[in-house]
Amino acid sequence: MQNNPLEKNVNKWLQGDYPQEVKTQILQLKEKNPEEFADAFYKELEFGTGGLRGIMGIGPNRMNKYTIGAATQAIANYLHQLYPSERIKIAIAYDSRNNSRYFSEIASQILSANKIHCYLFEDLRPLPELSFTVRHLQCQAGIMVTASHNPKEYNGYKVFWNDGAQLVPPHDKNILTEIRKIKTNSEINWEGNNEYIQLIGEKIDEIYLNKIKSLSLNPDSILKQANLPIIYSPLHGTGITLIPKALKMFGFNNLRIVHEQATPDGNFPTVLSPNPEEKLTMSMALQQGEEQGCCLVLATDPDTDRMGVAVRNDENKLELLNGNMVATLLIYYLLQEWKNHNKLNGNQFIAKTIVTTDIILEIAKDFKVECENVLTGFKYIAEKISENENKKQFIIGGEESYGMLVGDFVRDKDAVSACCLMAELTAHLKNQNTTPFELLKELYVKYGFYKESLFSITKKGKSGAEAIQNKMLELRNTPPKSIANSKITTIHDYLTQCSYDVKNNKTQKISLPKSNVLQFITEDNSKITIRPSGTEPKIKIYMAVKGELRSKKDFALINQQLTQKIKTIEDFLRDLVNTES
C-alpha cells in the first residue's frame, strides 16, 4: 500500500490533521467521481520553476488552501535559512480568478506568522507590476496568484526572486525540498500577524506607470494621432486596472473598452478560455473594432502579461497577428528608433526564445545588436538581463506566446508596456501613411518570409502524463529521418544538451540549461520543436518555415504556399505524435 502513491496520499489526508469537512469532501468525491478523485490524489501538485499551477479542488494534485499553505511555509523556511539576520520582505499580488484573493490572503497570513513583512496589493493587479514591485521595494521574493491564460478551473501561484524574475535553479529545487519536509498541517503557521502585513496600491501604480511612460520613443507621433481609435479588452482580467491609464499617459485619447469584458470575473463569462492567442477569445473585441472602424485592437490575458493584437490588413479588415509577428514588429521598431536617436553603440542586446521566429536574429544582425537565444520561458530572458547587469543594456525581448518586455525595470513579460508601444508604433506608421501590416510585409521582403504555427495535443490525467513522457522518450531514442518528405539535417536535444549533425555524423554541446525539448531542422530550413507544456497536460509542437518574398505584391501567394507547407507538416506530426509505439 505504501508503494501506491494514490493510496498513500489518500491515507495522508484522511488520517492526517485535516478538518473533518475536508475528509468528508474527499469521501464524497471518491464516491461521485472516481476518475477525478484519482487525478486529485495520484500525485502531489508539482512545484516547478514557475511555482504551482493546477485545477482548483481538494487533494494534493489540486490548488487549494493546503497546497498553497505548504508552498508558502516552505518559502518562509527557505528565506529564513538564506537571510537569518535580515528583515525579509515579500510582495504579493493576485488576478481576477476565483479564489485568487483568498489564496493571496492565506499566503500573507502564513508569511506574517513567520515574521516576514508582506506588501499585499489591496486589489487585483497585473503580474508585471508585481515583478516591478519586488525590485522597487527591495523584496527578497514575490508571489503572484494567477493561472495566466488557463481556463477558469485553474489557478496558480507564481514565485519571483529578488531580481523580479520567476524562479530559476537552484531556488526552485531548494523550495521543493522544503515543501517535501512538511509532513503535517501542524508544521504550517496558519495564524497570521497583521503587524507584518502592509497594504499597497496606488502609490506603486503611479511609480510603475511613470516608468512605462519613459519608454515612449515618439511622443510627437502620438500627439499627431492622439485620437487614434483603439479597442481594448482586458478579458475580465487585471488589465483594466492599468492599461487604460497607461495609454492615456502616453497620449492616446480615443480608447474604447469592450465593456462586456471589462469587469474582472474569474468565471470569464464571455469566453471559453481567456487566452488572447485564440481567435474565438478575441471575437468580441474584433467585432467592436470592425463596427467602430478602429485600426488597432488590443487584448490582455487575466494577469496581463500576454497581449493579443489585431491590425488592418490589405483588404482593410482587422486581422489577428500572432506572437511572432508582434515580436518582429516591436523589436524592429525599437531598434530602428534607437538607431534614429543615436542610442545604439554596440553595448545593447535583445532576447528571444528558441521557439520564437528567427527573423529576429536577422533583424538583430542588421542593426549589429546581439540577440540572446534562450530556452522557452521568460525567466530565461530575465536571467540574461541579470547576467548582463552593468555590462550590456537590454532593449527588448519577446516570445512567440504573445509575451514582450521592453526595458529592464520589469523582469517578466509585460503587456502594459507592450500595449502602449504597439499603439505608439501604429501612430508612428500612420503619420507615414502606412500600417503595421505593411511594415510586416516590408520586413519579409528584406529579411525573408518567416512563418510559424503551433498546435498542442492534450493528454489528461495520470495516463496522459505518462503518454507524453513516453512519446518524448520515443522521439529522442528513435527520431524520424524526415518530416513531411524533407530530410532532417540537425537534431537539437536540450535534455542531453547535444546538437547532432545528421549528415556529417557530428555532435556538439548545447550551452543552454537542460530542458525536455527536441528540435528538428530539415534540409528545406523548416524548424520543428516538440516539448511537453510546463503548465498544462499538453505536448506542444512548434513549426517554422521560411520562403522568399521578392515583392510585397507577392505576399498573398507566398503566404498561401507557406500556410500549405505548415499544414502538411502539421498533418505529419499529428500522426507521428498520436501513433502509439
Query: What average pLDDT score do residues 383-392 get?
Result: 95
pLDDT value at residue 251: 98
Instruction: Tally Cβ neighbours within 10 Å of residue 441.
Output: 20
Helix (H, G, I), strand (E, B) or coil at 546: strand
Residue 442 CB-density burial (10 A; 0-12 exposed, 13-18 middle, 19+ buried): middle
Give the model's pLDDT for residue 581: 54
Please report, for the chain, how many H helices and E strands are present, in that order: 18, 23
- Which of 58-67, 266-275, 362-371, 462-471 is least confident? 462-471
3-class SS letters over 165-187: CECCCCHHHHHHHHHHHCCCHHH
Residue 245, pLDDT > 50, answer yes
Catalytic residue among 131, 148, 221, 526: 148
Three cell numbers, residue 173: 529545487
Whether the upstream peptide bond of residue 126 has omega within 30° of 0, thus cis, is no
Q: What is the pLDDT of residue 460?
A: 79
Distance of alpha carbon 301 from alpha carbon 236, whole angstroms: 8
Strand partners, 297: 231, 310
The rounded radius of gyration (Å) of the Cα atoms in the chain is: 24
CATH superfamily label, 450-578: Alpha-D-phosphohexomutase, C-terminal domain (3.30.310.50)
pLDDT at residue 49 is higher than 90: no
Mean predicted confidence (pLDDT) in 541-546: 97
User: Are 402 and 307 within 8 A, CB to CB?
Assistant: yes
Average pLDDT over residues 315-319: 97
Q: Which three cell numbers stand for residue 185?
A: 498541517
pLDDT band for 357, please (50, 70, 90 cuts).
very high
User: Bridge partners of 197?
Assistant: 118
Superfamily for the 44-203 domain: Alpha-D-Glucose-1,6-Bisphosphate, subunit A, domain 3 (3.40.120.10)
- HSE-CB of 565 using CA atoms within 13 angstroms: 22
pLDDT in tens, 10-22: 999 999 999 999 9
Distance of CA 257 to the CA centre of its chain: 24
Delimiting residues of CATH 3.40.120.10 domain(s) in the chain: 44-203, 225-447
Q: Please confirm, yes or no, whether 486 is among the known catalytic residues.
A: no
Q: Which of 510-524, 526-540, 546-560 has the lowest mean pLDDT?
A: 526-540
At 223, the amino acid letter reads L
User: How far is the C-alpha of 219 from the C-alpha of 229, rounded, in Å?
Assistant: 17
Average pLDDT over residues 506-520: 95
Copy the grid coordinates of residue 296: 488597432
User: pLDDT class for 4, splitting at 50, 70, 90?
Assistant: confident
308 vs 413: CA distance, rounded Å: 13
pTM above 0.85, yes or no: yes
Is a pLDDT exceeding 90 seen at residue 203?
yes
Confidence of residue 346 (pLDDT cuts 50, 70, 90): very high
pLDDT(2) > 80: no
Task: Determine the 3-state secondary structure of 543 from DSSP.
Answer: strand
- Predicted pLDDT at 212: 98
Looking at the chain, the domain(s) classified CATH 3.30.310.50 span 450-578
Residue 515 scores a pLDDT above 60: yes
For the structural domain made of 225-447, what CATH number should be given?
3.40.120.10
User: Is the model's pLDDT at 5 over the cut of 70?
Assistant: yes
Instruction: Tell me the pLDDT band of 503, cut-offs 50, 70 and 90.
Output: confident
pLDDT band at 464 (very low <50, low <70, confident <90, very high): confident
What are the pLDDT digits (tens) for 395-435? 999 999 999 999 999 999 999 999 999 999 999 999 999 99
Q: Convert the pLDDT of each residue in 132-141 to its tens digit.
A: 999 999 999 9
Model pLDDT for residues 260-311, shown as the tens digit of each residue: 999 999 999 999 999 999 999 999 999 999 999 999 999 999 999 999 999 9
Does the pLDDT at position 490 exceed 50?
yes
pLDDT in tens, 189-199: 999 999 999 99
Confidence of residue 533 (pLDDT cuts 50, 70, 90): confident
**Mean pLDDT score of the chain, rounded to an integer?**
95
Confidence of residue 1 (pLDDT cuts 50, 70, 90): very low
CA dihedral 527, 386, 414, 426 (to 10 degrees): -70
The pLDDT score that the predictor gives to residue 46 is 86
Between strands 307-312 and 296-300, the pairing is: antiparallel
